[in-house]
């Protein structure tokens, strides 16, 4: 009688190892080669590793992948794991099926395959509202910010920071925005002290409001997910306009109902939301024209990049002084260090 295979973990597999394991289909992208031949690029993952599986048009699995493989669903795979110098962790799938309830007896647990925030979304949301309430002195501007947070509270607790790159998990939006806002508070107070000659001084309220609302447009840009582990797709407006324009529109809509909101203050807030990415190649439609944008831009960029570096170092399970090549960062990171 054939002996049952031991279930392994994707994150623990070594080069050229064939194994049975559970994984989440994180992404499935349909494309064509230069010769016009179709293929799918699929990304399977657990909480610590993502590996790419290429399903070519002439593969026996192509029709099955096209018809049955659903992003956001959990699968039991038999596959060979390898590490490509350019593309990082890869899989050659031999067999695949959706998980069933009986797989729990072999160790299947959804949470083992999902990245998730280290912090409670309810607590983070309450902290963000408290920052807006305590730190924004201008009452109409404070009302604008807290109204947007409260109207979209349930969605904001579930949103990722971005669909694929930084804080790409439920609760990621809150974790990112809360971190950025705290950093902006430190920076604006520091630079107000350094540049006392500015008249008017750096606007503290504007920096705080901009840091809280700089990615509020994700609410309109991304579809609500329908199942655990699903990567959010963009809405039609999200595809047409992106979160920057949608965020500005959301701010304008709420602002119409707030009496005594200073028109220039609102205009400058819109400018911050429009230009915080700072560079056209990053998606900024205009260049920053006020210094407050610089504080948000650098706090936002630093927070996003540090999260991506930390995630890569935290997840990596390979051998050697460097991590596997991270597909998002496009590089390996040094992990074998004592200092």
User: Is residue 335 assigned to a domain?
Assistant: no
Identify the sign of the CA torsion 9, 10, 15, 17.
positive
* CATH number for 75: 2.40.50.140
> Rounded distance, CA 296 to CA 275, Å?
10
The residue among 92, 113, 134 that closes a domain is: 113
User: Is residue 338 assigned to a domain?
Assistant: no
Give the pLDDT score at 320: 79
pLDDT band at residue 227 using 50, 70 and 90 as cut-offs: low
pLDDT tens across 26-57, in order? 889 999 999 999 999 999 988 888 899 999 99
Encode the chain in three state secondary structure.
CCCCCCEECHHHCCCCEEEEEEEEEEEEEEEECCCCCEEEEEEEECCCCEEEEEEECCCCCHHHHHHHCCCCCEEEEEEEEEEECCCEEEEEEEEEEECCHHHHHHCCCHHHHCCCCCCCHHHHHHHHHHHHHHHCCCHHHHHHHHHHHHHCHHHHCCCCCCCCCCCCCCCHHHHHHHHHHHHHHHHHHHHHHHCCCCCCCCCHHHHHHHHHHCCCCHHHHECCCCCCCCCCCECHHHHHHHHHHHHHHHHHHHHCCCCCCCHHHHHHHHHHHHHCCCCHHHCCCCCCCCHHHHHHHHHHHHHHHHHHHHHHHHHCCCCCCECCCECCCCECCECCCCC
pLDDT tens across 91-106, in order? 999 999 999 999 999 9
Answer yes or no: are the C-beta atoms of 190 and 246 closer than 8 Å. no
User: Is residue 246 assigned to a domain?
Assistant: yes
Mean pLDDT, the chain, integer: 91
Same structural domain, 201 and 264: yes
User: Is residue 330 assigned to a domain?
Assistant: no
Domain interval for residue 51: 7-113
User: Is residue 327 assigned to a domain?
Assistant: no
> How many independent structural domains does the chain possess?
2
User: Is residue 162 assigned to a domain?
Assistant: yes
Highest mean pLDDT among 157-166, 205-214, 311-320: 205-214
Same structural domain, 131 and 270: yes
Same structural domain, 23 and 126: no
Same structural domain, 133 and 90: no
Same structural domain, 22 and 155: no
183 pLDDT exceeds 90?
yes
Same structural domain, 12 and 103: yes
Answer yes or no: are the C-beta atoms of 39 and 54 closer than 8 Å. yes
* CATH number for 207: 1.10.3210
How far separated are the first and last CA of the chain, in Å rounded?
A: 53
* CB neighbours of residue 81 within 10 Å: 21
Same structural domain, 60 and 201: no
Same structural domain, 134 and 258: yes
The residue among 95, 113, 131 that closes a domain is: 113
* Of 208, 226, 224, 220, the residue nearest 248 (C-alpha): 220
Same structural domain, 195 and 149: yes
> Rounded distance, CA 255 to CA 258, Å?
5
> Rounded distance, CA 300 to CA 184, Å?
9
The residue among 78, 113, 148 that closes a domain is: 113
User: Is residue 59 assigned to a domain?
Assistant: yes
Same structural domain, 128 and 102: no
Same structural domain, 204 and 280: yes
User: Is residue 21 assigned to a domain?
Assistant: yes
pLDDT band at residue 318 using 50, 70 and 90 as cut-offs: low
Same structural domain, 33 and 154: no
């Amino acid at each position: 009688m054939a002996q049952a295979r031991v279930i392994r973990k994707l994150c623990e597999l070594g080069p050229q190892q064939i194994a049975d394991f559970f994984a989440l289909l994180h992404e499935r992208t349909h494309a064509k080669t230069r010769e016009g031949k179709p293929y799918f690029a699929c990304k399977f993952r657990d909480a610590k590793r993502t590996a790419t599986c290429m399903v070519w048009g002439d593969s026996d699995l192509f029709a099955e992948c096209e018809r049955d493989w659903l992003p956001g669903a959990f699968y039991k795979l038999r596959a060979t794991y390898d590490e490509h110098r350019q593309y990082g962790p890869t899989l050659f799938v031999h067999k695949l099926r959706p998980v069933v309830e009986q797989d729990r007896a072999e160790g299947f647990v959804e949470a083992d395959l999902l990245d998730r925030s280290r912090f409670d979304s309810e607590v983070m949301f309450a902290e963000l509202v408290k920052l807006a309430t305590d730190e924004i002195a201008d009452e109409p501007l404070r009302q604008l910010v807290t109204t947007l947070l409260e109207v979209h509270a349930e969605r904001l607790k579930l949103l990722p920071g971005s669909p694929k790159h930084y804080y790409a998990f439920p609760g990621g939006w809150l974790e990112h925005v809360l971190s950025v806002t705290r950093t902006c508070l430190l920076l604006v107070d520091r630079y107000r002290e350094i540049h006392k000659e500015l008249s008017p001084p750096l606007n503290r309220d504007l920096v705080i409001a901009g840091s809280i609302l700089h990615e509020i447009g994700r609410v309109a840009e991304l579809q609500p997910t329908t199942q655990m582990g699903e990567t959010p797709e963009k809405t039609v407006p999200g595809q047409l306009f992106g979160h920057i324009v949608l965020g500005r529109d959301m701010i304008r809509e709420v602002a119409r109902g707030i009496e005594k909101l200073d028109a220039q203050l609102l205009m400058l807030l819109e400018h911050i939301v429009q230009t915080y990415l700072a560079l056209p190649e990053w998606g900024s439609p205009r260049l920053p024209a006020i210094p407050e944008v610089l504080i948000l831009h650098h706090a936002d960029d630093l927070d996003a990049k540090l999260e991506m570096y930390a995630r890569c170092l935290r997840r990596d399970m390979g051998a050697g002084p460097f991590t596997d090549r991270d597909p998002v960062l496009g590089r390996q990171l040094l992990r074998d260090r004592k200092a």
